[in-house]
Amino acid sequence: MSIPIVKLSRGIHVMHQFYRIDRLRWSALSESARGEALACLQAVRARYAAASHPRICTYANVGGKADLAFIAYASELAGVGEIHRAFEAAFPVGTLAPVYSYLSVTELPEYVTTEEDMKNTLVHAEKLEPGGEAFEKRMAEMRARQAEYEHYRLYPELPDWEVMAFYPMNKRRQGGDNWYALDFAARKKLMAGHARVGRKFSGRITQLITGSTGIDDWEWGVTLVAHQTDALKEIVYEMRFDEVSARYGEFGPFYVNLRLDPGDLWVHLGL
């Protein structure tokens, strides 16, 4: 066998999948076939249990669009497909119907903090003398924090909070509201305001932004984890007034999910 190894220059592949259970076929399964499916899914979850990747996390969808979902993380393209097939193979054939899927990759934010940005912060906000000892110490700290942040963006380890929401999005290209016609500085400034809203929700919302231009039907995938449903509403609503979203954001479907390992999934869904 010679499945090609397709990696990224940096970062990993991320896959979101949402399914319905075919209740008619499920009801025809024997008790032991259901138990076997659960054991099989638990084995898949155990096999892909790295903190970052390869990893699979399972969810119950709430709201009626789907029954269950997973997010998979893998360095190779075939690898993410392999987790996908392993998840599906855990279910007796015909009991799982696909509802929605999304493929994206982790990426560094385009408007990343530069050495220049750090210097400006130290000189203007912290009033430090460039080249001085205090300055260099703070620069080292800032570089380390930035490196850590960039590592998180490329090899994310989302906290295992109770609720997960997913939606894809675009930046608008339309008449006077054309994001891609703005210059870099204007975009960076707009995104900085956007990031400030995100930071206000620290501790309530953790977000993972993955890139999908050229890969799936929207430009980014947004995964939010939270402890409360209204935190999801508040952050997305508050950001909607931010010029980045107000003028340039276009949003796909929203999926709200409960973080449940296979055993609890079985209980919650009555499988």
Q: Considering only residues 2-31, where is the footprint of a second copy by CB under 8 A?
A: 2-11, 13, 15, 17, 23-24, 26-27
Give the count of beta carbons closer than 10 Å to the beta carbon of residue 266. Answer: 17
CB of 26 to a second copy, least distance (A): 8
* Residues between 113 and 152 that touch a second copy (CB under 8 A): none
CB of 253 to a second copy, least distance (A): 5
- Contact (Cβ atoms closer than 8 angstroms) between residue 212 and residue 219: yes
Number of residues that bind a second copy (CB under 8 A): 90
CB of 141 to a second copy, least distance (A): 30
**Does position 178 bind a second copy by CB under 8 A?**
yes
CB of 39 to a second copy, least distance (A): 17
Q: How far apart are CA 119 and CA 213, in angstroms?
A: 32
End-to-end CA gap in the chain? 36
Give the count of beta carbons closer than 10 Å to the beta carbon of residue 26. Answer: 19
Q: How far apart are CA 1 and CA 232, in angstroms?
A: 45
- Contact (Cβ atoms closer than 8 angstroms) between residue 168 and residue 267: no
**Which CB, 56 or 163, lies closer to a second copy?**
163
**Which CB, 24 or 51, lies closer to a second copy?**
24
- Joined tokens for residue 221: 């995938």
**Does position 89 bind a second copy by CB under 8 A?**
yes
Distance of CA 196 to the CA centre of its chain: 19
**Does position 215 bind a second copy by CB under 8 A?**
yes
**Does position 77 bind a second copy by CB under 8 A?**
yes
**Which CB, 73 or 167, lies closer to a second copy?**
167
* 237 secondary structure, DSSP code: H
CB of 75 to a second copy, least distance (A): 10
**Does position 212 bind a second copy by CB under 8 A?**
yes
**Does position 108 bind a second copy by CB under 8 A?**
no
* Residues recognised as catalytic: 167
Give the count of beta carbons closer than 10 Å to the beta carbon of residue 188. Answer: 17
For a second copy, the binding residue among 127, 175, 202, 203 (CB under 8 A) is 175
DSSP three-state, residue 228:
coil
Taking CB under 8 A as the binding criterion, the range among 45-53, 138-146, 193-201, 233-241 that sits at the site for a second copy is 233-241
Q: How far apart are CA 42 and CA 170, in angstroms?
A: 35
